[in-house]
């Protein structure tokens, strides 16, 4: 087993060239190899991004308020924006703009996207245990399933130096969470997929996991904390998921 692990670690070393997107071929090869090695692929872990791994509320609220400001509307507090995050940008904007401004959704979207692209990590911070989890990422198959567009996911992951075995963004497929398709896509061909856990913060993540037939693990700082699902207080605790208490 020792020789296999040494061989695998050499084969899995990330190439030093190319961008995050260009290295997708490397990630897929690593994903297949992890499945061949057995124990490392037991109980794969999938994670949501916004509100689970990364507290992005401040930057998303600022972008939403930039869109509101373009139409002469006063800014909303972060707490007013928070309940609408996780369902996609259309849902968010439809709920932060008053009914009389909904005809401007397309323009609001462009303003939001432009502002957010320049402020991806202005106020965003890793959630508890995220950095410790990333430091131990080789212990499990770990995937990211988010509704955030890849154009935002890529620079965020590069800036934080976070790597996953697979990344399914909001525009990877035609369907997004709570549809089960992104979760199933992330686990396609993964050994032990039937024992996977999805870790998320919102009812969107919970619904996607249930629809995909995947067990769900909540984070205690998320909206799911009110739903009585199994929860963890630190993200690296997902590596010992059997110990997870209920929220």
User: Which H or E run includes 51?
Assistant: none
Q: Is 48 a catalytic residue?
A: yes
**What are the DSSP calls for 110-146, one per residue?**
HHHHHHHHT-TTSS-EEPTTHHHHHHTGGGS-EEEE-
Say which residues have a Cβ less than 8 Å from residue 11's Cβ, sequence separation at least 6: 33
Distances (CA, A) of 108 to 40, 114, 116, 124, 215: 45, 10, 12, 22, 36
Determine which one of 48, 55, 59, 205 is catalytic: 48
Asked if 129 contacts 137 with a C-beta cutoff of 8 angstroms, the reply is no
Catalytic residues, which ones?
A: 48
């Amino acid at each position: 087993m020792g020789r296999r692990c040494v061989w695998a670690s050499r084969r899995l070393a990330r190439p030093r060239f190319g961008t995050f997107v260009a290295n997708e071929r490397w990630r897929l090869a690593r994903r297949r190899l992890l499945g061949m090695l057995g124990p490392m692929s037991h109980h794969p872990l999938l994670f949501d991004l916004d509100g689970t791994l990364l507290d992005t509320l401040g930057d998303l609220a600022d972008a939403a308020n930039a869109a509101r400001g373009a139409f002469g509307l006063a800014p909303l507090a972060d707490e007013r924006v928070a309940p609408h995050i996780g369902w996609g940008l259309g849902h968010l904007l439809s709920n932060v703009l008053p009914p009389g401004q909904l005809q401007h959704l397309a323009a609001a979207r462009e303003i939001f996207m432009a502002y957010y692209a320049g402020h991806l990590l202005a106020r965003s911070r890793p959630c508890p245990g995220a950095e410790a989890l990333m430091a131990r990422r080789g212990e499990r198959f770990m995937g990211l399933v988010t509704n955030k567009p890849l154009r935002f996911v890529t620079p965020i992951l590069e800036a934080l130096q976070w790597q996953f075995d697979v990344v399914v963004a909001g525009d990877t497929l035609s369907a997004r969470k709570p549809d089960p398709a992104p979760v199933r896509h992330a686990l396609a061909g993964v050994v032990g997929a039937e024992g996977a856990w999805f870790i998320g913060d919102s009812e969107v993540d919970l619904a996607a996991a249930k629809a995909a037939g995947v067990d769900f693990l909540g984070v205690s700082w998320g909206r799911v904390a009110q739903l009585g699902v199994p929860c963890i207080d630190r993200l690296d605790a997902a590596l010992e998921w059997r110990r997870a208490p209920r929220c």
